[in-house]
Structure 1
Amino acid sequence: MNIQSLPPNVINLIAAGEVIDSLGAVVRELVENALDAEATRIVISIYPDLWWIQVADNGKGMSLEDLKRCSLAHSTSKIRSVNDLWKITSLGFRGEALHSIAQVANLEVASRLKGGDDTGWRIRYHSSGEAELIEPTAIAPGTIVTVSNLFRNLPVRRKGLPSTTQQLKAIQTLIYDIALCHPHVTWCLEQNDRSWFKISPGKTALQILPQLLNRVHQNDLQLLTQSFDTPSLPDNLSSIENQSTLELVIGLPDRCHRRRTDWVKVGVNGRVVRSPQLEQSILSAFARTLQRDRFPVCFVHIKTCPSQIDWNRHPAKTEIYLHSLSFWQEKTAAGIEQALRINTDSSASFHHGRVVKLLKVSEEKSTYNTDEQPPIKTAKSRDNLGLLELRAVAQVRKTYIVAEHPNGLWLIEQHIAHERVLYEQLQDHWKIVTLETPIILNQLTPTQVEQLQRLEVEIEPFGEQLWAVRTAPELLAKRSDCGEALIELSWGGDLQTAQVATACRSAIRNGTPLNLEQMQRIIDQWKNTRNPRTCPHGRPIYLSLEETSLARFFRRHWVIGKSHGI
């Protein structure tokens, strides 16, 4: 016979090689087990050149009986029957991790059950997953897993892996992704017995992301959390939760962006996954808000009914089948659009409260006192979008509009603010109208003629190297330089590019004097646009000078008597 069954040791080694394929895979599996054990502090130590990894957590821990069974093939506490596969609520569930690690490395686990007796246990495992050495050990409640001599029986695997630097970078990215999904956890990572990096806990991903990205502050980000009814499920599945949530953290396009799409991330029920469709929805939602060749900072975390997700697609569980994908694409795009609108900034009242506390502390040690003032009120919101009430007060150098609001003032660049207004109007109402007098263009190439025809502009030959244009976009048809604008449109690009070019040419030019009524009209139109932070080319439209910043700059919170030495 040519076809024969493989021996168990070969089967186990093949399966282990699929689950544990790198240093990062070991870290991923052990960290997921720690999170499933409700750990709030995880310490990871790595000696990459020695192929040694240790993960310590303060989770629930394991009893001695559980310790004996945890590394046996397909042994898990997460699921019990086939029906449980359709309602996965944990990060691990296959019972493969520890058994696979034991197949390709030396595995040792020490654990003490939280709420149990005061005795902890340490077990070293055989490659089959059976306990090889059992002894009591002094340990705090939680678990410490030590993996050494990784890929001892797969030398080719060691040689085929990327460099140490690349593997460490992959581990760092992995921990960043997990930390975003589990912001309540404290992370400490050590490399070669030296501190590598730490991540402090927070309430949401909004507090975590600034710790991961250089030069990004919490004020550069916007958090939006929405709840929905769980989308409809297939008939053969039943929902165990009625509510789904969408948590969205975006980098404001006028403050932070990236040269790559490396910070467009999608998380589903506690794990970052690859979802090309959702990632494309994110990029499309940021269209015409960033500069050319710049990409957004965005983290989307979907929490939905477990029966909506099938995790059995990829060994590392980075690819999933997500039911109602179009529903989540729509909600993600709508959430980003809402988050991009201008919201009132609560930082004013926060800083005011902090100053009052400092003064109260100083008051106890000094002869002066201060009466606590009520917090600075935030501006009234409109249509639940938090749009500020802006009042035009002046024009600077015939370029910038000075607008006052209850918390300070803004400088608004009049041309690009008007450009944003016109661009969104063109998006909603792109209209081609008939010209009263046809415009004659000359020296056009066939490509230029085809481009105008694609934009639904009526153009026909009018002689040798001459063309008559009989229709044009409505905004351009009223301009004296309509011919030049049509030539500009003929240079290429899609409809969106043509709309941007039309808006740019039609917007009020810098250097144009405006009265207060004209400035107010531009402000009112601009603040109600969908993406008021940047122009269609990605340039920031306004500069915010908040009252709290002005007060700090002019030292208005100083106590005058003390500053004079009294």
Structure 2
Amino acid sequence: MSIRRLPETLVNRIAAGEVVERPAAALKELVENAIDAGATRIAVRIAEGGISRLEVEDDGCGMTPADMALALERHATSKLPDDAIEDVTTLGFRGEALPSIASVARLTLESRVAGGEGWRLVVDNGVVVAEGPAALANGTRVVVEALFACVPARRKFLRSARSEYSACLDVVRRLAMARSDVGFTLEHDGRRVLDVQGEQDQLSRVAALTQRDLAANSIGVDLDRGDVHIGGVISLPTYNRGIADHQYLFVNGRPVKDRLLVGALRGAYADLLARDRHPVVALFLDVPGGEVDVNVHPAKTEVRFRDPQLIRGMIVGGLRRALDEHGFRSVQRPAEAALAAWQQEPLAPPAPTLFAAHLPYPHAPATHLFGGDGVSATQALLRDRVIEFAPPRDALPHDTLPMGRAETATAPVPQGDAHPLGIARGQIARTYIVAEAEDGLVIVDQHAAHERLVLEQLRRGMSGQAVPSQGLLLPEVVELDEPACDRLEAAAAQLAALGVELERFGPAAVMVRATPAMLGAIDCRELVTDIADDLAGYDAALGLNEKLELVAATMACHGSVRAGRTLSVAEMNALLRTMEVTPHSGQCNHGRPTWVKLAMDDVERLFGRK
């Protein structure tokens, strides 16, 4: 077959296949053009998820009629002042975005420069069908209609309008997050779904585009190493989501979805989150242009760093330090649904069988005793003389008496700055410690909290401070399959630093000679089996030390104070004091909070005092 030149219309459609995969891809190109034009306000309107209509209007510099005609030609751009393609500082430089979109849709382009006249161009699937004057303010308006209407092979692969709308919303959200100095609005089928004002600070913009309560449950990041800067906000480990779609990554102001950066985030939150939970992150990375290649993907959603290990090390180390500094923090406010579960019941009249025999005059009517208003007077007397009216303890069967464990509230409440978890007052359901703090009521999950404390002590053992071990009176032999024994034997030296001393005992068994003293009496067979499973189950790309970090979490779970164990008040307070000085004690090894605080204002609202 002989070689031939492709017709212009087919060339444009091929280019469109690289740039315009779906409505969200076209919308991304148009909004990026608006940002590069210096817009301070961008309005986006879409219909049917962008399949039938996309409209982007900005107040940027605008274009002259001659520039508009040139912009619809392939490989024409205003974003590269010279031939140094690696020094591009705008969101894009590709010149085929507008002609590619125009080749697969009906595109209306209207623009006006300051002091000039507005002009309008209409292109229908690659053919200019109309042009003339247009009435609009300074800036540009682009309307894309009937995308892929003449390319049914492409249109049938589009998803539902709801899915396409979700992708469009994500595009606008990420670009709006990257430029907090620009105002954005988004309307879908006539309904405004997004509206953020310009000139916002970074944290306010991120919170406005994700969730409002992120501001109270996040940590600011500000790191510099040479010419590389990392800024943004990261959520506390206890503030997490079930999917990774709430991780927003930017390189030199450009939204990206880069595997190196995602992997670094996972490393920073290792052993702070369960494997199926993900933090909420908005991370902005500024790198010199010569240190990053933004041209490795047609849509510029991926980048390549000259020194990837430097970037990964900065993210993992910097975020880890930030989390260490705020490790005691947790999502302190209980969920609104939990607060709503508290019921405010109306005060019922006292039951005659309980109180009648203990009234000063048991046979007198209430109206005679208390005046005309018997009910309100009864309430007043109950309020003033509740102890006098309480039935004697032997009047009720012992199995119906309320049971509880509490400390006499004579110990003073410690100052909030020194001891924010307060002082233990009791234990509920042999699982939750109730403490009184200076500014509210604290409830601690004893199992989750102690599990985190044990893990942090094991991690210190991995960093060189050997964990004290306790020798077994009789070494225990644990039988496993041969590959599991091989993995344990290979990790024996590192496990010894964690307090687990074992050695090979034949081809399919290991002998356990000592376990970490902090774990107390545990089932050696179960512990060693779980360690072997963890060494086999984690990603093969992880190094041995990284695997042992995750193994430590399993060991911590074996040795933590279990729910259902009765603690003395001294033990409760010891646990609270240790939590206050231990990094990451605000969340358990699976990312759930170890404690919550009910502020006094919330308590008073529950009782109608506010």
TM bucket, shorter chain: 0.7 to 0.9
Equivalent position of 2:154 in the other structure: 157
Q: What CA distance in whole angstroms lies between the structure 2 residues aligned with 1:245 and 1:280?
A: 16
- Helix, strand or coil for the counterpart of 1:458? strand
Distance in 2, Cα, partners of 1:141 & 1:15: 30
The structure that has the greater radius of gyration is 2
**1:318 is aligned to 2:314:** no
TM-fit CA distance, 1:28: 1.1
Q: CA deviation at 1:103?
A: 2.6
> Could you tell me how far apart the structure 2 residues matched to 1:303 and 1:11 are?
36
Determine the structure 1 residue equivalent to 2:120.
122
Give 2:590's aligned residue.
Answer: 537
Name the % identity.
29
Residues 327 and 449 of structure 1, relative CA distance in 2, 3 Å threshold = closer
Distance across 2 between alignment mates of 1:520 and 1:107: 69
1:282-334 per-residue CA deviation (whole Å, 9 max, x = no partner) reads 12222233345333332322233333332211111111123333222222223
Which residues of 2 match residues 122-201 of structure 1 at below 5 A? Answer: 122-125=120-123, 133-151=130-148, 153-191=150-188, 193-195=189-191, 197-201=193-197
Q: CA shift at 1:451, angstroms?
A: 5.9
Deviates more, 1:90-99 or 1:480-489: 480-489
Deviations 1:313-356 (A, max 9, x none): 111111112333322222222343314625789999xxxxxxxx
> Normalized against structure 1, the TM-score is what?
0.75
Partner of 2:379: none
Separation in 1, partners of 2:61, 2:229:
28
- Asked whether 1:426 is paired with 2:458, we answer yes
Q: TM-score, normalised by structure 2?
A: 0.70
Counterpart contact for 1:475–1:502, Cα < 8 Å: no
> Among residues 506, 511, 533, which one is paired with 1:492 in the alignment?
533
Whether contact under 8 Å (1:417, 1:535) holds in the other structure is yes
Distance change in 2, residues 1:151/1:293 (3 Å): closer
Alpha-carbon distance, 1:468 to partner? 4.5
> What is the alpha-carbon distance in structure 2 between the residues aligned to residue 16 and residue 77 of structure 1?
20
Q: Aligned partner of 1:194: which letter?
A: G
SS at match of 2:450: helix
SS at match of 2:30: helix
Alignment of 1:193-342 (within 5 A): 193-195=189-191, 197-201=193-197, 203-204=200-201, 206-208=203-205, 217-218=213-214, 221-231=217-227, 244-250=229-235, 252-258=236-242, 260-291=243-274, 293-337=276-320, 338-339=322-323, 341-342=326-327
Aligned residues: 499
Find the aligned partners of 2:331 and 2:457 in 1 and give their Cα distance: 31
Question: In structure 2, do the counterparts of structure 1 residues 468 and 195 end up closer, same or farther at CA, with 3 Å as the change threshold?
Answer: closer
Deviations 1:490-533 (A, max 9, x none): 662233454223323333445343445x5454334323433222
The 1-side partners of 2:210 and 2:261 are apart by 22
**Partner Cα separation in structure 2 for residue 323 and residue 379 of structure 1:** 48
Structure 2 CA distance, aligned partners of 1:469 and 1:342?
A: 34
Partner-residue secondary structure (3-state), 1:217: helix
| Secondary structure in 1 matching 2:302 | coil
The 1:551/1:70 distance shift into structure 2, 3 A limit, reads: farther
Unaligned residue ranges in structure 1 (runs of 5+): 232-242, 349-377, 381-386, 559-566
Secondary structure, aligned partner of 2:533: coil
Distance in 1, Cα, partners of 2:505 & 2:144: 77
SS at structure 2 position matched to 1:469: strand
**Corresponding residue number in structure 2 for 1:29:** 29
Would the alpha carbon gap of residues 498 and 470 (structure 1) be closer, same or farther in structure 2, given more than 3 Å must change? same
> In the alignment, which residue of structure 2 is the partner of 1:56?
57
Letter of the structure 2 residue corresponding to residue 526 of structure 1: M
Distance verdict in 2 for CA 1:437–1:213, change over 3 Å: same
Question: Measured at CA, do residues 346 and 58 of structure 1 come closer, stay the same or move farther in structure 2, by a change above 3 Å?
Answer: farther
Query: Structure 1 residues 185, 343: closer, same or farther in 2, change over 3 A?
Result: farther
Do the aligned partners of residues 18 and 292 (structure 1) sit closer, same or farther apart at CA in structure 2, a change above 3 Å counting? closer
Counterpart amino acid of residue 54 in structure 1: E
Matched AA of 2:309: S
CA contact (8 A) 2:41 2:183 kept: yes
**SS of the counterpart of 2:596?**
strand
2:513 alignment partner, one of 451, 462, 470: 470
Cα contact 2:238–2:330 (8 A) shared by 1: no
* SS of the residue 2:278 aligns to: coil
| 1:507 correspondence with 2:560 | yes
**Which amino acid in structure 2 is aligned with residue 78 of structure 1?**
K
Whole-Å separation in 2 of the counterparts to 1:15 and 1:196: 32
Structure 2: 5+ residue runs without aligned partners? Answer: 334-414, 493-500, 536-547
Cα 1:484–1:314 shift into 2, 3 Å: closer
CA contact (8 A) 1:74 1:96 kept: yes
Taking the aligned partners of 1:64 and 1:217, their CA distance within structure 2 comes to 47
Q: Give secondary structure in 1 for the equivalent of 2:474.
A: strand
> Which amino acid letter does the alignment assign opposite residue 121 of structure 1?
W
Provide the rounded CA distance (Å) in 2 between the counterparts of 1:347 and 1:531: 14
- SS of the equivalent of 1:188 reads strand
> Which AA in structure 1 matches 2:442?
W
Once the two structures are overlaid, the 10-residue window that deviates more, 399-408 or 29-38, is: 399-408
Contact 2:125 2:150 in 1 (8 A): no
